[in-house]
Amino acid sequence: MTAVRVLLVEDDERLAQLTARYLEAHDVLTTVAADGPAGLALALAQPFDAVLLDVMLPGKSGLEVCRALRERSDVPIIMLTARGEEADRVLGLELGADDYVPKPFSSRELLARIHAQVRRARRLVGPAAGVPIKVGTLVVDAATLSATLAGAPLTLTAYEHQLLRAFAERAGRVLSREQLLEIVKGDASEVFDRAIDVRISRLRQKLGDDPKQPRMLKTVRGLGYVLVADEGGPGDGGQS
C-alpha cells in the first residue's frame, strides 16, 4: 500500500501524541486536530485517506463533525470513543461512520482498521473489477467505484458501494446478516446485532426506497435481505 494520510481529531493531547507517534512509525502520515471545528476544516481542506474522529470534542462533537463531513465527502471515517452503548454506535453508523473503535483501543488494531478502510476506499478489496453489474435500472461499476439508478448517480461511501455490489452480484438471492458480513469483511462496528440493519437502512435511503415498502432491498423476515430488479427507478411504487 502506498503512503497513507490520516487526520486524527482528538482533544486528549497525550493520547493524540502517542497515537500519532505509533501511526507515523508505521508509515501513516498523521495530522492532529484538537477540536471539532478545526478537525472539520482540515478534513474539508486537505486530502486524507481516513479520518479518526473522537466523539467527545470541544466546539463541535464528533457526531456533528461526522454528519457535516459525510454531507460533503466520502472519506472513510473511524469513530474513536469511550462510549460503549449500542445506541451510540448505531447513531455513528447512521450519520455515516465507516467503523467504530471503542477506547481504550489497541494501536495495532487501530492501524489494521485504518488499512482495511483505505484498501476498501482505494478499490483494492475483492476480485478484479469486471464489466458493470446491471440489475434492472441499477448499474454497479466496481472498476470506477460508482453506481447509478435509472441513470442518476448514487453517492455512496466505499463500504456502501461494496455492500451494494455484494447484493447486485447475487440479485434475487436472500443474504443473511452473517453472509453479508463475510462477503464485505465487516469491521468492529458489525459485532452488534443492529449494525447491518443500519447499513441497509442508509443504503435504502440512497436508493430512494420506502423503508416501509422497499421496492429493491427487501427484507425476508427471519432470513435476511434480497435485492430485486426495479425497472422504474427512484420514486416509483412497489410491493414489499
14-62 pLDDT, tens digit each: 999 999 999 999 999 999 999 999 999 999 999 999 999 998 899 999 9
Q: Give the distance between the most distant pair of CA atoms in the chain.
A: 55
Residue 142: per-residue pLDDT: 80
Q: Kindly report the CATH number that applies to the domain delimited by 133-227.
A: 1.10.10.10
Question: What distance in Å separates the CA atoms of residue 118 and residue 3, rounded to the nearest whole number?
Answer: 10
CATH 3.40.50.2300 in the chain, residue ranges: 4-121
Label residue 159 by pLDDT band (50, 70, 90): confident
- Percent of the chain whose predicted confidence (pLDDT) is above 90: 40
Question: What distance in Å separates the CA atoms of residue 222 and residue 232, rounded to the nearest whole number?
Answer: 28
What element of type H or E holds 111? helix 107-121
Model confidence pLDDT, tens digit, residues 99-135: 888 888 889 999 999 998 888 777 645 554 567 889 9
Tell whether the model's pLDDT for residue 180 goes beyond 80: yes
Residue 184: per-residue pLDDT: 74
Q: For the chain, give the mean pLDDT.
A: 84
Question: What distance in Å separates the CA atoms of residue 166 and residue 155, rounded to the nearest whole number?
Answer: 17
CB 108 within 8 A of CB 81: no
CATH 1.10.10.10 in the chain, residue ranges: 133-227
The model carries a pTM of 0.64
Label residue 194 by pLDDT band (50, 70, 90): low
Which CATH number does the domain 4-121 belong to among 3.40.50.2300, 1.10.10.60, 3.40.50.720, 3.10.150.10? Answer: 3.40.50.2300
